[in-house]
Amino acid sequence: MARRDPHSYADDTQAETESFHLVGRLDFANRILRAEVTLRFRDLASGTLDLDTRDLAIETIRDDAGRVLPFTLHPAEPIFGSRLEVELSGGTRAISIRYRTSPDASALQWLAPAQTAGGKLPFLFSQCQAIHARSVIPLQDTPRLRVTYTAELTVPKALRVVVAAAAVGSRRTEGELATERYEMPQPIPPYLFAFAVGDLVSQALSPRSAVWAEPSVLAKAAYEFAGVEAMIVAAEKLFGPYDWERFDILTMPPSFPYGGMENPRLTFLTPTLLAGDRSLVGVVAHELAHSWTGNLVTNANAEHFWLNEGFTVFAESRILEATDGPDVAQLDAALGRKELDQALARFATRPALTKLRTHLAGIDPDDAFSQVPYEKGYFFLRALEETIGREAFERWLQSYIAAFRFGAIVTEDFLAHFEAAHPGVLAKVGASRWIDGEGLPADAPVPRSEKLDAVQAAGVAVPDPSLARTWSPVEWQLYLEAGTRPIEVCKQLDATYQLTNSTNYEVLVSWLALALRCGYLDVIPRVEEVLASVGRMKYLRPLYTALRDVDRVRATSVFAANRASYHPIGRQMVAGLLGV
């Protein structure tokens, strides 16, 4: 078998899916999707076809002539799920698979009304990255094979379906049900298939952007994300035309496990960004940047994930510099370096995962997830830029995006393209140390700015109010993550700045983790409150880690009380961290 993706059963010698058409009904009472998907192939196909599935119940499979096809659903394997082996008839153009998902589908989170902002209607959302699309649709679940799709989803008519695609036609209602149809005309990797269902309304932000949210959240979200059009304009000047037509935003429930997910046409964003002062919208810049780096040029498999995320952090930095100035971009880079150092320390016993080009056979990509591909990738690209100059690097970056547009590539493709444009530069910067070396090269670029110097000068002492009261959330994070303090300093910090009562989650979580490490246990009730209300893994990891180190029994008890409210991906991460 010829399988280039270590996390997929997709075989190079078999038929390749070109598009799919999904027709499904969402059963909230039983928490399942009952569906039929039609997979259309690039060419006429015959012989064996291997598809990826996870916890799917396969009912029937037919070809485009209506013939029933024999199939075998093999026993589940760790990480992969179950291989669905289908025997195609000669000259098959498409097959239709009738199936249903599991209530425990790893890509889906079904929320009870009490877990939503409105408290009256349920909510459902998908999260398919890295290899969870197979728990929703039987398909070749590898980013190497991009697909277009159409989807018709039927739900209770009190709910609204939104899909990361273009709406087609009007909403159809029949009795107590409603059906909505969507089409994705641009080919995407399967992990970017996304949808949500709930009590959702929208408000326009610009002619090509709108924000979706529950009614009680909509005004806050529209205010927070009002600057998105300026970001799109700035990004187009840097990276070329926006190829996805719309950039809509869906404000997710608190259990959403990430800061954002770059689903084309409909980016998902955590509600923890709604700080009320637009201070956390850098995440929007990151997800927007993915429209070029990740969505348009995609890693062919998870071993080359840095091609998605390192490039996107670099692009995000350029967008922030264009919209908010160089100081903001450099502060953000300095915070990224802090997060990178923490990730390198976390993988001290698994140093192979600190390389940019990883080898993940037998390793779940969710277990390998860290800031390494994001931040180490960013600093590598900065090293290249500093060597050839900004203008030359920007010209190369635009040519790179144009060359691999709507493609899936590996690290070797990037290296060959850059070497052809700038011979000898990769060797000059020691690219092999970055790509295949562990840790961070000692000569990595260092972020610099006057604001950063001022924060660093504050050290770990209680900062002067005349300085600290002007700090942005990023400056506060840099200060709080500079090192541990004596417990008396923590008490004074809290008394002076009321950090335990902060409503800015970036500042709050940095503070709570620091306070626990310093033995200032007065914050534990607030830690428990945060862990009971937010499912973003960026916050779960440091808080559970710090609470575990102080009181493992309490940490385990808090997780037991809240695990059902976390997305399956977040639940898996915390369970591994606590060893439960």
Catalytic site residues? Answer: 287, 374
Residue 222 structure tokens? 């529209």
**Residues pairing with 565 in the sheet:** none
The beta strand positions in 325-411, using DSSP E, are: 407-409
> Using CA atoms, how far apart are residues 175 and 224, in angstroms rounded to an integer?
37
- Residue 318: in which H helix or E strand, if any? helix 306-324
**Residues pairing with 147 in the sheet:** 188
Cα 17 from chain centroid (whole Å): 24
Residue 150 structure tokens? 């159409």
Closest CA to 477 of 336, 381, 318: 336
The residues, any chain, with a CB within 8 Å of residue 65's CB and separated by 6 or more, are 89
**Residues pairing with 125 in the sheet:** 109, 196
Closest CA to 265 of 283, 246, 291: 246
Return the SS3 of 498.
coil
> Which residue is listed with tokens 């409503």?
503
Three-class DSSP labels, 105-152: CCCEEEECHHHCCCCCCCEEEECCCCCCHHHCCCECCCCCCCEEEEEE
Q: How do the residues of the chain divide into helix, strand and coil, expressed in percent and rounded to 5?
A: 40, 25, 35
CA distances from 157 to 29, 53, 103, 118, 179 (A): 15, 30, 21, 17, 8
Main-chain dihedrals φ then ψ at residue 221, nearest 5 degrees:
-65, -40
Residue 424: other Cβ atoms inside 10 A = 8
DSSP output for 27-93: ETTTTEEEEEEEEEEEEEEEEEEEEEESS-EEEEEEETTS-B--EEEPPPBTTTBEEEEEEEEEEEE
> Using CA atoms, how far apart are residues 294 and 358, in angstroms rounded to an integer?
17
Asked whether the beta carbons of 284 and 231 are under 8 A apart, the reply is: yes
CA distances from 3 to 7, 65, 479 (A): 9, 29, 47
> Using CA atoms, how far apart are residues 362 and 62, in angstroms rounded to an integer?
33
